[in-house]
Amino acid sequence: MYNVKKYLFLIPILFIFFCPRNVFARINRIRTFNSDYSTTWVDLSVPEGATYATFTGATNSTAFIRLNMTDNFEPNKTYSASFGFCIYVLDKDFQIEFGNLIGGWNVGGGYVSGTPVESTLVDYSHTTNASGRSQYMRCYTQRWQFTTPGTTTYPFFQIGLNTRYQTLNKFSWWNWTIEKVDSDMSDVTNSITNNTNQIIINNNNNTQQIINSQQETTDAINDLNDSLTDSSTDDNLASRFINLFSHNDHALASIVTAPLNFLNSLDDPCQPITIPFKLGGGNNCGGLPVCVNSTFSKDATIQCGDTLFWNKSEVSVFRVFWNVLFGGAIIYMLGFKLFKTINRALDPFVDDINGLEV
Amino acid sequence: MINAILNGLLTLLSQYVTVAFTPIDLIITNLIPDLSNVLVIVSDFFDILADYGNFVLSYTGLTQSTIGIIVALIFYNIYLPLAVHGIKLALRWYRMLMP
């Protein structure tokens, strides 16, 4: 495994050398148009890897050579195409007309036309083939630059040939390279635009988060100020404390927290106690010869002490003294105990809990 | 903020009681169901006492304000040691955890 790792760096190098950079421009079909005032295109398929195509049959006086590409052109893109080709005709020299069509048909029937940016005749020959016929060859290197229509779907290059009275015999090509000229820049522009929009969105989100955090901080400071400046006592603290322990989910916990629940119920308003009374058995006399058919059913209500006695106006003054004497004594004892508790709690050497002794 | 600290401390204490007693209660309920029934009866008895406590108090002649003061004092007698002890415990842990 270690030895394999040493050669992993070759993968990108191999990819560079064997990357099919020219796949886009591969010719997969050649169509020739018989210019004998016919509208029939003759298709000649081109196998992959082929560098030439030969023509036989009714290709006399071919006017156009249309080279279909393997992949579609992207719409609204500028392409730069460089290639070389040779055209062979028989019997008579010919003229080549460039600038008929290049690019591709779109759905609406439009196409790109133009002339090559560069066109160089690189080779020319006149030979005689085995059958004794004259064979003329013209080889060119050209570079085209064109912008595709909006909906290009049919990529091709078309070369016009003035081959009337000649016979197209062979077409060969090399170094086909088609590249998008402005694709990178447009992609970069789109990327920059998208990134810029995303940055703006992120900044807006971050700004909103900062605003929210600032608002939370402001609210917290306001709460702190309100808490520090609030001089009112928390009357509900005792009830809330006790209610926190008022759970009866488990029996043992209920017993432990029962004193707290009992304490919590003491300051509730008094409710009179209702005792149901029911005497007699109704019509069921148990088979006795003398049966007293009587039934007494009535609820007995025991009123609270306040209702019976303490709320009467005659004892109101006495109740005040009674509260001062009796209640004051209890309050004094509890206050004294609280004082000792505070002293004990403030002792730095005492950490035990004695509050539950109550 | 002070209220928040007090509420947090109260909640912590109540949760401590719950956490401490829950496994014991579960053990009793599952392993000793009779004891669990007895504990429930005792708990119900305390509930009855709580229901009639204010009724008894009404005959003592103490007003609601006096009773409220008494309950508050009892509460602070319970709460204050718990709070101070909790704070001391937290400070002790803080000192132990400090390098």
Question: Rounded to a whole number, what is the distance in Å from the CA of A325 to chain B's nearest CA?
Answer: 10
In this predicted structure, which of A128-137, A171-180, A320-329 has the lowest mean pLDDT? A171-180
Interface of A with B in 225-284 (CB under 8 A): 227-228, 234, 237-238, 240-242, 244-245, 247-273
In this structure, is the dihedral angle defined by the CA atoms of residues A69, A71, A73 and A75, taken in order, positive or negative?
Answer: positive
ipTM of the complex, rounded to two decimals: 0.73
Please say if the pLDDT value at position A249 is more than 80: no
Considering only A47-51, A66-70, B35-39, which range has the smallest mean pLDDT? A66-70
Task: Give the pLDDT confidence score for residue A234 in this predicted structure.
Answer: 53
Q: E-assigned strands of chain A? A: 27-34, 41-45, 52-54, 62-69, 78-90, 95-106, 118-128, 134-147, 152-162, 167-180, 273-279, 296-302
Q: How close is the nearest chain B Cα to the Cα of A299, in Å?
A: 18
Q: CB–CB of B64 and A265 under 8 A?
A: no
**Dist CA A68 CA A157 (whole Å):** 6
In chain B, residues with a C-beta closer than 8 Å to the C-beta of A317 are none
Residue B67 near residue A267, CB atoms below 8 Å? yes
| B53–A271 C-beta distance less than 8 A | no
DSSP 8-state secondary structure symbol assigned to residue A349? T
* Contact assignment for A341 to B42 by CB distance below 8 Å: no
d(CA A149, CA A146): 10
Which DSSP letter does residue A106 get? E
SS3 (DSSP) at A274: strand
Where helices occur in chain B by DSSP H, the ranges are: 2-31, 33-58, 64-97
What tens digit of pLDDT does each residue of A260-306 get? 777 777 778 888 888 877 665 555 555 555 555 556 667 788 888 88
Question: How many cross-chain Cβ pairs, A to B, lie less than 8 Å apart?
Answer: 188
Residue B11 with chain A: CB contacts under 8 Å: 244
Question: Residues of A with CB below 8 A from B58's CB?
Answer: 270, 304-306, 310
Q: Output the pTM of the full model.
A: 0.40
Given a cut of 50, whether residue A21 has pLDDT beyond it is no
Which residues of chain B neighbour A268 with C-beta distances below 8 Å? 54
State the pLDDT at residue A336: 92
- The DSSP call for residue A325 is I
The one-letter amino acid at A204: N
| Contacts with B91 from chain A: Cβ below 8 Å | none
Mean pLDDT of A32-58: 66
Cβ contact, residue pair B89, A268, below 8 Å: no
Q: What is the DSSP letter of A96?
A: E
Answer yes or no: do A266 and B53 touch at CB < 8 A: yes
Encode pLDDT of B45-68 as tens digits: 877 887 788 888 888 888 888 888
- The closest CB to that of A304, out of B55, B74, B88, belongs to B55
SS3 B2: helix
Residue A332: its pLDDT value, please?
Answer: 94
pLDDT reported for residue A56: 61
Is the CB of B58 less than 8 angstroms away from the CB of A273? no
Q: How far is B32 from chain A (nearest CA, A)?
A: 12
In order, the DSSP letters of A120-169 are EEEEEEEEE-TTS-EEEEEEEEEEEEEE--TTEEEEEEEEEEE-TTSEEE
Å between B47 CA and nearest CA of chain A = 7
Of A266, A337, A346, which has the smallest distance from its Cβ to B71's Cβ?
A266
Which residue, among A354, A278, A301, A245, has the nearest Cα to B50 in the 3D structure? A245
The tens digit of pLDDT for each residue in A315-339 reads 888 989 999 999 999 999 999 998 8
Residues A81 and A166: beta-carbon distance below 8 Å: no
Report which listed range, A118-127, A326-335, B23-32, is most confident: A326-335
A105 CB within 8 Å of a chain B CB: no
Q: Give the amino acid at A294.
A: S
Question: Could you tell me the sign of the dihedral formed by the alpha carbons of A325, A331, A333, A335, in that order?
Answer: negative
Chain B residue with Cα closest to A234? B3
- Per-residue pLDDT, A147: 76
Residue B28 CA to residue B38 CA, distance in Å, equals 11
A251 to chain B, minimum CA–CA distance in Å? 5
Handedness of CA A145, A146, A147, A151 (dihedral sign): negative
Any chain B CB within 8 A of the CB of A332?
no
What is the pLDDT, as a whole number, of residue A8? 56
- Among residues A19, A38, A24, which one has the least CA distance to residue A68? A24
Cβ-defined contact of B10 to A240 (cutoff 8 Å): yes
Q: Tell me the percentage of chain A whose pLDDT exceeds 90.
A: 4
Residue of B nearest to A331 (CA): B70
User: For residues B7 and B11, what is the distance between their CA atoms, to the nearest angstrom?
Assistant: 6
Which residue from B minimizes the CA distance to A264? B71
Q: Tell me the shortest Cα–Cα distance from A207 to chain B, in angstroms.
A: 28
Distance CA A213, CA B20 (A): 38
Q: Find tokens 């009724």 and name the residue.
A: B55
Nearest by CB: A257 against B17, B39, B62? B17
Q: Do B61 and A257 touch (CB under 8 A)?
A: no
All residues at 6 or more sequence positions from A144 whose CB lies less than 8 Å from its CB, including other chains: A79, A80, A81, A82, A102, A114, A116, A117, A157
CA angle A286/A292/A295 to nearest 5° reads 90
Least confident window among A221-230, A308-317, A323-332, B79-88: A221-230
Q: State whether A341 and B54 contact (CB < 8 Å).
A: no
Chain B residues whose beta carbon lies within 8 Å of the beta carbon of residue A302: 55
Contacts of A141 (CB under 8 A, 6+ apart): A82, A83, A84, A118, A119, A120, A122, A175
CA distance A88 to A65: 12
DSSP conformation letters of A61-86: TEEEEEEEESSPPPTT-EEEEEEEEE
Compute the distance between CA of residue A258 and CA of residue A245 in angstroms, rounded to an integer: 9
Assess contact for A50 and A196: CB atoms under 8 A. no
Distances in Å between the Cα of A270 and the Cα atoms of A302, A307, B39, B46 are 11, 10, 27, 17
Q: What is the mean pLDDT of residues A85-106?
A: 69
Contact A253, B25 (CB under 8 A): yes
pLDDT tops 90 at residue A98 = no
Contact A14, A32 (CB under 8 A): no
